[in-house]
Chain A
């Protein structure tokens, strides 16, 4: 079992031309009295892997399986009160379950497991927009897609760009971004879906969620972790070039991260990026503690 622990502290002081600016910050001693906890559970690229890999599989013998994932989630639900269960896309495609049932079973099981939200990956278009809608009927959770404009498709109004969840008084804003479909998915499948710049859209979503007074902002991303071509939209780019996201739950590149990567955003603040490979081989978990913020106004101090 891999565990890591990080401490979030407010950036209190930064230096600028010999002047120490002290910004408003919360007093962490006081905050401890009001500490609240939130558990984020997440998957990505489960790819219709309902059953565990076969025992003779060359790479992952006997691993994975939705029924066991359900147990892992249920164990955590019995210990934690405030849980969000999220998926970063590519629910479809990879086993005969999808070829035969078109993703219906995947959606039913995710609903059974209590998923709170998901975003669409490129393979979630593999049955076409009609096919996705047909399976989505069995999903009792929203699909968050902020940078796909579905206006001229049957998906119009069927997805949301973001959703705000409240858990024990903590407001969590979740939004989703997807990968460019052109070159990955045939046009006949995504039809008149318009792909919008995920990074610009992400910042808009963050700004909206901040206006709604969210305490934590999570991005479900199917952009991919990182690419050799640094100009390509990726989770790393998204983290570096936006401000306000706390956690990016990634997908697409099937990247196994043993723990979240911490990246500085455009304001020098920390963003966590996590991804748990693919095929439901792992369940990701990130726990946050929150402190009640006590604002203290400080003067500029010359040194």
Chain B
């Protein structure tokens, strides 16, 4: 237990016509952990909701050999979600090839933990009902994405690499003046201030949830493929 005593001054502005004044304060941050007993009355209230959810959400759909935690500039989890989208078979992937995948750190909401991966884990990883979208951009926007990633310190990407010379696409490009980015409708619409998407030339909506891409990819892989190679080096 840490106990400190400080003296601080508060201003004269408080004197305006009130009758009490805060004189001292102290703070105490309480960790919520197993040492606290569980109140039965509340348990009873939650359990019908939990039981119904668990029927569908506790289904194990794959296995992870390691813990994967999101991180900047890069992490195995960042790679995994971007690759999942790259490998996804949506209605358009038969006729089009994405030149890169760009997602955002903010949309990864939890870790993938070592052991069985449940449907609920993927809902918790990606709780948002965001849709997979294909966005055609002029090649000049690649520089805007590079600036964005440099400023943010890292975002999940696939089929592209960010090294000392900046951001570049890895696959073959059929056209050199435009490129297709697979992303989410949230980011397309300016989410996380990715305003460069305003320069879009064309948008194709898949009607497919990002989360469903991840769920299908877990099922397809069985044992999750873990790629620890760092795709982003923002140091200059």
**A285 proximity list for chain B (CB < 8 A):** 27-30
Comparing A142-150, A154-162, A272-280, the segment that makes contact with chain B is A272-280
Contact B10 A8 (CB under 8 A): yes
Q: Which of A218-271 contact B (CB under 8 A)?
A: 243-244, 246, 257-260, 262, 265, 267-270
Contact with B along A53-79 (1 / 0, CB 8 A): 010111100111111111110110000
**B165 proximity list for chain A (CB < 8 A):** none
Contact B4 A11 (CB under 8 A): no
Known: A71-B36, A216-B22. A95 touches B45 (CB 8 A): no
Contact A295 B24 (CB under 8 A): no
Report the minimal beta-carbon distance from A239 to chain B, rounded to whole angstroms. 13
**Total CB contacts across the A-B interface at under 8 A:** 277
A244 and chain B: residue at smallest CB distance:
B13
Q: Which of A27-69 contact B (CB under 8 A)?
A: 28, 31, 35-36, 47-48, 50-52, 54, 56-59, 62-69
C-alpha gap A54/B186 in the complex (Å): 28
Contact A112 B7 (CB under 8 A): no
B4 and chain A: residue at smallest CB distance:
A4
Contact A58 B27 (CB under 8 A): no
C-alpha gap A240/B172 in the complex (Å): 52
**A282 proximity list for chain B (CB < 8 A):** 29-32
Contact A56 B39 (CB under 8 A): no
Contact B11 A11 (CB under 8 A): yes
C-alpha gap A182/B17 in the complex (Å): 40
C-alpha gap A176/B129 in the complex (Å): 27
CB pairs A–B below 8 angstroms (15 shown): A6-B6, A6-B7, A7-B6, A10-B10, A10-B21, A58-B69, A70-B42, A71-B36, A96-B57, A98-B127, A112-B42, A169-B20, A210-B16, A243-B13, A260-B27
